[in-house]
């Protein structure tokens, strides 16, 4: 069985990843699954995700590493079973990127940086109303710190359809060495 391909969208909260992912699902010729970090957290009941006490907040914090690792392992298993995937993620920790590189070794990954100026993601965060204020600011410098992508898109300039078109064009014109291959070599050094 042939491995599936992964389109890996990384950006801050409210940068537009989920909207782009849904448009991509509609435009890609092959059926493609959407796997998101938010989706994995929403596997828990609402009472876990909206802590009301310090103890509940500590519990939620303790779940984060397990949820993130579960996402990475699940993406690997799904792709190795032949499924094409779009992954909607926020790589706010270096260890998360390293884990993706290790778990997805040998898989075809198009690494997409979804970028947007801080003031715009903060406005979107407020308008959404379902994010804690300051989440995008906290993530802003962290998620792109590694510096390598196969393609970068700016959602303050491009709409979701234009972003999807550029991503699809990148799938057809892949570089000889992918961003994931470069990052893998840098983590081994």
C-alpha separations of 38 from 14, 116, 156 in Å: 12, 19, 22
pLDDT per position as a tens digit, 83-105 = 999 999 999 998 999 999 999 99
Domain count for the chain: 1
pLDDT confidence tier of residue 129, bands split at 50, 70 and 90: low
**Pairing, β 32-36 against β 84-89:** parallel
52-76: average pLDDT: 92
Copy the structure tokens of residue 100: 């993706």
Give 132-165 pLDDT, tens digit per residue. Answer: 666 777 788 888 888 889 999 999 999 999 999 9
Range of the domain at 52: 5-188
**9, 75 contact by CB (below 8 A):** no
CATH of the domain at 167: 3.40.50.300
Does the structure show a pLDDT above 90 at 111? yes
- Percent of the chain residues past pLDDT 90, beyond the cut: 56
189 pLDDT higher than 80 = no
Picking from 121, 147, 126, 123, the residue whose alpha carbon sits closest to that of residue 136 is: 121
């Amino acid at each position: 069985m042939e491995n599936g391909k992964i389109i890996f969208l990384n950006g801050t909260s409210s940068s537009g990843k989920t909207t782009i992912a849904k448009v991509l699902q509609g435009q890609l010729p092959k059926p493609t699954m959407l796997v998101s970090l938010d989706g994995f957290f929403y596997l828990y009941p609402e009472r876990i995700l909206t802590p009301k006490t310090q103890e509940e907040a500590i519990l939620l914090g303790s779940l984060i590493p397990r949820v993130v690792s579960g996402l990475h392992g699940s993406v690997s298993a799904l792709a190795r079973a032949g499924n094409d995937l779009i992954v909607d993620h926020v790589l706010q920790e270096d260890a998360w990127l390293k884990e993706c590189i290790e778990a997805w070794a040998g898989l075809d990954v198009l690494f997409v940086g979804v970028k947007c100026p801080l003031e715009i993601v903060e406005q979107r965060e407020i308008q959404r109303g379902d994010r804690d204020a300051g989440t995008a600011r906290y993530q802003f410098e962290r998620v792109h710190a590694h510096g390598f992508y196969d393609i970068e898109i700016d959602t303050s300039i491009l709409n979701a359809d234009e972003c999807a078109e550029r991503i699809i064009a990148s799938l057809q014109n892949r570089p000889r060495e992918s961003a994931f291959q470069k990052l893998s070599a840098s983590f081994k050094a």
